[in-house]
Structure 1
Amino acid sequence: MKEIQTFAKKYQEEMGWEISEESYAKSRDSLLNNYMLLTTEVAEVAEELRKAFNLKTSYVENGMDEKQAFELAKYQIKDDMGKELSDCLAYMLKFYNYFGIDLEESFYDKMEEVKNRRNKDLVKTEK
Protein backbone atom coordinates (compact mmCIF):
# COMPACT_ATOMS: atom_id res chain seq x y z
CA MET A 1 0.00 0.00 0.00
CA LYS A 2 2.88 2.36 0.70
CA GLU A 3 4.10 1.95 -2.87
CA ILE A 4 0.75 2.81 -4.39
CA GLN A 5 0.37 5.82 -2.09
CA THR A 6 3.84 7.08 -3.01
CA PHE A 7 3.15 6.45 -6.71
CA ALA A 8 -0.14 8.35 -6.50
CA LYS A 9 1.52 11.33 -4.79
CA LYS A 10 4.22 11.59 -7.47
CA TYR A 11 1.72 11.00 -10.28
CA GLN A 12 -0.64 13.67 -8.97
CA GLU A 13 2.25 16.12 -8.69
CA GLU A 14 3.45 15.34 -12.24
CA MET A 15 -0.07 15.79 -13.62
CA GLY A 16 -0.74 18.94 -11.55
CA TRP A 17 -3.70 17.20 -9.91
CA GLU A 18 -2.80 17.49 -6.25
CA ILE A 19 -5.19 19.24 -3.88
CA SER A 20 -4.27 22.91 -3.62
CA GLU A 21 -2.51 24.14 -0.51
CA GLU A 22 -2.13 27.71 -1.80
CA SER A 23 -4.70 29.22 0.54
CA TYR A 24 -7.66 28.21 2.63
CA ALA A 25 -10.13 29.20 -0.10
CA LYS A 26 -8.23 27.32 -2.81
CA SER A 27 -7.78 24.28 -0.54
CA ARG A 28 -11.49 24.31 0.33
CA ASP A 29 -12.48 24.58 -3.34
CA SER A 30 -10.00 21.88 -4.35
CA LEU A 31 -11.17 19.55 -1.56
CA LEU A 32 -14.82 20.03 -2.49
CA ASN A 33 -14.08 19.56 -6.20
CA ASN A 34 -12.15 16.35 -5.54
CA TYR A 35 -14.90 15.11 -3.23
CA MET A 36 -17.47 15.69 -5.98
CA LEU A 37 -15.25 13.89 -8.48
CA LEU A 38 -14.90 10.95 -6.06
CA THR A 39 -18.66 10.70 -5.59
CA THR A 40 -19.10 10.80 -9.37
CA GLU A 41 -16.74 7.84 -9.69
CA VAL A 42 -18.61 5.97 -6.94
CA ALA A 43 -21.80 6.53 -8.95
CA GLU A 44 -20.03 5.03 -11.97
CA VAL A 45 -19.31 1.91 -9.89
CA ALA A 46 -23.05 1.74 -9.17
CA GLU A 47 -23.72 2.06 -12.89
CA GLU A 48 -21.48 -0.94 -13.60
CA LEU A 49 -23.37 -2.95 -10.98
CA ARG A 50 -26.67 -1.92 -12.57
CA LYS A 51 -25.31 -3.04 -15.93
CA ALA A 52 -24.35 -6.44 -14.48
CA PHE A 53 -27.77 -6.93 -12.88
CA ASN A 54 -29.54 -5.98 -16.10
CA LEU A 55 -27.34 -8.33 -18.14
CA LYS A 56 -28.03 -11.16 -15.69
CA THR A 57 -31.78 -10.55 -15.92
CA SER A 58 -31.64 -10.56 -19.71
CA TYR A 59 -29.68 -13.82 -19.79
CA VAL A 60 -32.07 -15.49 -17.35
CA GLU A 61 -35.05 -14.35 -19.42
CA ASN A 62 -33.39 -16.07 -22.39
CA GLY A 63 -33.12 -19.35 -20.48
CA MET A 64 -29.70 -19.20 -18.85
CA ASP A 65 -29.21 -20.47 -15.30
CA GLU A 66 -29.14 -17.54 -12.83
CA LYS A 67 -25.72 -18.35 -11.37
CA GLN A 68 -24.17 -18.81 -14.82
CA ALA A 69 -25.87 -15.63 -16.04
CA PHE A 70 -24.46 -13.58 -13.18
CA GLU A 71 -20.96 -15.03 -13.64
CA LEU A 72 -21.09 -14.05 -17.32
CA ALA A 73 -22.35 -10.55 -16.46
CA LYS A 74 -19.57 -10.10 -13.86
CA TYR A 75 -17.01 -11.15 -16.44
CA GLN A 76 -18.43 -8.69 -18.98
CA ILE A 77 -18.19 -5.69 -16.63
CA LYS A 78 -14.91 -6.70 -14.97
CA ASP A 79 -12.62 -4.40 -16.96
CA ASP A 80 -14.88 -1.35 -16.69
CA MET A 81 -15.51 -2.04 -13.00
CA GLY A 82 -11.76 -2.18 -12.43
CA LYS A 83 -11.35 1.20 -14.14
CA GLU A 84 -14.08 2.81 -12.07
CA LEU A 85 -12.74 1.38 -8.81
CA SER A 86 -9.27 2.62 -9.79
CA ASP A 87 -10.68 6.10 -10.35
CA CYS A 88 -12.21 5.95 -6.86
CA LEU A 89 -8.92 4.81 -5.37
CA ALA A 90 -7.01 7.60 -7.12
CA TYR A 91 -9.29 10.26 -5.62
CA MET A 92 -9.15 8.62 -2.20
CA LEU A 93 -5.36 8.60 -2.38
CA LYS A 94 -5.44 12.35 -3.04
CA PHE A 95 -7.20 12.81 0.29
CA TYR A 96 -4.83 10.45 2.10
CA ASN A 97 -1.85 12.36 0.72
CA TYR A 98 -3.30 15.82 1.31
CA PHE A 99 -4.01 15.06 4.97
CA GLY A 100 -0.73 13.17 5.44
CA ILE A 101 -2.50 9.94 6.39
CA ASP A 102 -0.59 6.67 6.01
CA LEU A 103 -3.01 4.53 3.98
CA GLU A 104 -1.67 1.22 5.22
CA GLU A 105 -1.63 2.17 8.88
CA SER A 106 -5.08 3.78 8.66
CA PHE A 107 -6.55 0.76 6.87
CA TYR A 108 -5.25 -1.83 9.31
CA ASP A 109 -6.17 0.30 12.32
CA LYS A 110 -9.72 0.66 11.02
CA MET A 111 -10.07 -3.05 10.27
CA GLU A 112 -8.91 -3.84 13.82
CA GLU A 113 -11.43 -1.34 15.19
CA VAL A 114 -14.24 -2.94 13.18
CA LYS A 115 -13.15 -6.43 14.23
CA ASN A 116 -13.29 -5.48 17.90
CA ARG A 117 -16.50 -3.46 17.73
CA ARG A 118 -19.64 -4.79 19.26
CA ASN A 119 -22.03 -5.07 16.35
CA LYS A 120 -25.64 -5.49 17.45
CA ASP A 121 -26.56 -6.91 14.05
CA LEU A 122 -23.88 -9.59 14.12
CA VAL A 123 -24.32 -12.58 16.39
CA LYS A 124 -21.17 -14.64 16.84
CA THR A 125 -21.47 -18.18 18.06
CA GLU A 126 -19.00 -19.13 20.73
CA LYS A 127 -17.08 -22.36 20.19
Structure 2
Amino acid sequence: MKDLQTYMKKYHEDMNWEIRDGHYEEAKSSLLINYMLLSTEVAEVAEELRNAFNQTNELINQGKGEAEAFEIAKANIKEDIGKELADCLAYMTKFANYFEIDMEKAFYNKMEEVKQRQNKDIGISR
Protein backbone atom coordinates (compact mmCIF):
# COMPACT_ATOMS: atom_id res chain seq x y z
CA MET A 1 0.00 0.00 0.00
CA LYS A 2 2.89 2.37 0.74
CA ASP A 3 4.25 1.81 -2.76
CA LEU A 4 0.80 2.53 -4.17
CA GLN A 5 0.53 5.76 -2.18
CA THR A 6 3.99 6.85 -3.33
CA TYR A 7 3.14 6.03 -6.94
CA MET A 8 -0.17 7.88 -6.78
CA LYS A 9 1.39 10.95 -5.14
CA LYS A 10 3.81 11.27 -8.05
CA TYR A 11 1.09 10.40 -10.58
CA HIS A 12 -1.24 13.11 -9.26
CA GLU A 13 1.62 15.62 -9.28
CA ASP A 14 2.57 14.69 -12.87
CA MET A 15 -1.06 14.99 -14.00
CA ASN A 16 -1.55 18.21 -11.98
CA TRP A 17 -4.44 16.51 -10.18
CA GLU A 18 -3.42 17.11 -6.58
CA ILE A 19 -5.93 18.41 -4.07
CA ARG A 20 -5.31 22.15 -4.01
CA ASP A 21 -4.05 23.54 -0.74
CA GLY A 22 -3.32 27.22 -1.28
CA HIS A 23 -5.80 28.51 1.30
CA TYR A 24 -8.94 27.29 3.04
CA GLU A 25 -11.48 28.07 0.30
CA GLU A 26 -9.25 26.54 -2.39
CA ALA A 27 -8.66 23.41 -0.31
CA LYS A 28 -12.36 23.16 0.58
CA SER A 29 -13.39 23.43 -3.07
CA SER A 30 -10.79 20.91 -4.20
CA LEU A 31 -11.73 18.44 -1.47
CA LEU A 32 -15.42 18.70 -2.34
CA ILE A 33 -14.77 18.26 -6.06
CA ASN A 34 -12.62 15.20 -5.41
CA TYR A 35 -15.24 13.80 -3.04
CA MET A 36 -17.88 14.20 -5.75
CA LEU A 37 -15.59 12.46 -8.23
CA LEU A 38 -15.06 9.58 -5.78
CA SER A 39 -18.82 9.34 -5.23
CA THR A 40 -19.32 9.16 -8.98
CA GLU A 41 -16.85 6.29 -9.24
CA VAL A 42 -18.60 4.43 -6.40
CA ALA A 43 -21.87 4.86 -8.30
CA GLU A 44 -20.19 3.39 -11.38
CA VAL A 45 -19.31 0.28 -9.33
CA ALA A 46 -23.02 0.04 -8.49
CA GLU A 47 -23.84 0.34 -12.20
CA GLU A 48 -21.57 -2.60 -12.98
CA LEU A 49 -23.27 -4.66 -10.27
CA ARG A 50 -26.65 -3.74 -11.73
CA ASN A 51 -25.35 -4.78 -15.13
CA ALA A 52 -24.30 -8.16 -13.73
CA PHE A 53 -27.69 -8.73 -12.11
CA ASN A 54 -29.52 -7.76 -15.30
CA GLN A 55 -27.32 -10.07 -17.37
CA THR A 56 -27.88 -12.88 -14.88
CA ASN A 57 -31.65 -12.49 -15.07
CA GLU A 58 -31.55 -12.36 -18.85
CA LEU A 59 -29.47 -15.57 -19.00
CA ILE A 60 -31.81 -17.29 -16.54
CA ASN A 61 -34.74 -16.29 -18.74
CA GLN A 62 -32.89 -17.91 -21.65
CA GLY A 63 -32.74 -21.20 -19.73
CA LYS A 64 -29.37 -21.08 -17.97
CA GLY A 65 -29.11 -22.15 -14.34
CA GLU A 66 -28.80 -19.38 -11.78
CA ALA A 67 -25.23 -20.23 -10.73
CA GLU A 68 -24.00 -20.56 -14.31
CA ALA A 69 -25.77 -17.36 -15.36
CA PHE A 70 -24.22 -15.38 -12.52
CA GLU A 71 -20.72 -16.75 -13.25
CA ILE A 72 -21.07 -15.66 -16.88
CA ALA A 73 -22.31 -12.20 -15.83
CA LYS A 74 -19.46 -11.79 -13.34
CA ALA A 75 -16.94 -12.69 -16.04
CA ASN A 76 -18.57 -10.20 -18.41
CA ILE A 77 -18.22 -7.28 -16.00
CA LYS A 78 -14.87 -8.24 -14.43
CA GLU A 79 -12.74 -5.88 -16.52
CA ASP A 80 -15.10 -2.91 -16.23
CA ILE A 81 -15.76 -3.28 -12.51
CA GLY A 82 -12.00 -3.60 -12.02
CA LYS A 83 -11.53 -0.25 -13.74
CA GLU A 84 -14.17 1.38 -11.56
CA LEU A 85 -12.67 -0.06 -8.37
CA ALA A 86 -9.26 1.22 -9.52
CA ASP A 87 -10.76 4.69 -9.99
CA CYS A 88 -12.17 4.52 -6.44
CA LEU A 89 -8.79 3.46 -5.09
CA ALA A 90 -7.09 6.33 -6.92
CA TYR A 91 -9.36 8.90 -5.27
CA MET A 92 -9.12 7.26 -1.85
CA THR A 93 -5.34 7.29 -2.17
CA LYS A 94 -5.45 10.96 -3.14
CA PHE A 95 -7.36 11.76 0.07
CA ALA A 96 -5.00 9.63 2.16
CA ASN A 97 -1.97 11.39 0.70
CA TYR A 98 -3.51 14.81 1.22
CA PHE A 99 -4.17 14.08 4.90
CA GLU A 100 -0.81 12.26 5.24
CA ILE A 101 -2.48 9.01 6.28
CA ASP A 102 -0.61 5.72 6.08
CA MET A 103 -3.44 3.74 4.50
CA GLU A 104 -1.95 0.36 5.29
CA LYS A 105 -1.68 1.19 8.98
CA ALA A 106 -5.13 2.83 9.01
CA PHE A 107 -6.63 -0.22 7.29
CA TYR A 108 -5.24 -2.79 9.71
CA ASN A 109 -6.10 -0.60 12.72
CA LYS A 110 -9.69 -0.26 11.49
CA MET A 111 -10.05 -3.99 10.83
CA GLU A 112 -8.83 -4.73 14.35
CA GLU A 113 -11.29 -2.18 15.74
CA VAL A 114 -14.15 -3.83 13.86
CA LYS A 115 -13.07 -7.28 15.07
CA GLN A 116 -13.20 -6.08 18.69
CA ARG A 117 -16.67 -4.51 18.49
CA GLN A 118 -19.22 -5.81 20.96
CA ASN A 119 -22.26 -5.03 18.79
CA LYS A 120 -21.39 -7.19 15.79
CA ASP A 121 -24.10 -7.93 13.26
CA ILE A 122 -24.81 -11.66 13.23
CA GLY A 123 -25.63 -13.47 10.01
CA ILE A 124 -25.16 -10.43 7.78
CA SER A 125 -22.63 -10.84 5.02
CA ARG A 126 -20.63 -7.70 4.39
What's the TM-score bracket when you normalise by the shorter of the two chains? Answer: over 0.9
| Cα distance change of structure 1 residues 94 and 106 upon mapping to structure 2, 3 Å threshold | same
Which 5+ residue runs of structure 2 have no aligned equivalent? none
- Please give the alpha-carbon distance, in whole angstroms, between the structure 2 residues aligned to 1:94 and 1:72: 34
- Please give the alpha-carbon distance, in whole angstroms, between the structure 1 residues aligned to 2:52 and 2:63: 17
Q: Please state whether the residue corresponding to 2:119 is helix, strand or coil.
A: coil
Runs of 4 or more above 4 Å deviation: none
Residue equivalent to 2:19: 19
Normalised by the length of structure 1, the TM-score is 0.94
**What's the CA shift string for 1:75-117, capped at 9, x where partnerless?**
0000000000000000000100000000100000000000111
Residue equivalent to 1:2: 2
Residue equivalent to 1:92: 92
Residue equivalent to 2:113: 113
Q: Please state whether the residue corresponding to 2:114 is helix, strand or coil.
A: helix
Q: Please state whether the residue corresponding to 1:63 is helix, strand or coil.
A: coil
- Please give the alpha-carbon distance, in whole angstroms, between the structure 2 residues aligned to 1:92 and 1:36: 12
Residue equivalent to 2:54: 54
- Alignment RMSD: 0.9
Kindly provide the amino acid, as one letter, of the partner of residue 75 in structure 2. Y
- Please give the alpha-carbon distance, in whole angstroms, between the structure 2 residues aligned to 1:62 and 1:122: 36
Q: Please state whether the residue corresponding to 1:97 is helix, strand or coil.
A: helix
Count of matched residue positions in the alignment of Structure 1 and Structure 2: 123
| Amino-acid identity (%) | 61
Residue equivalent to 1:101: 101
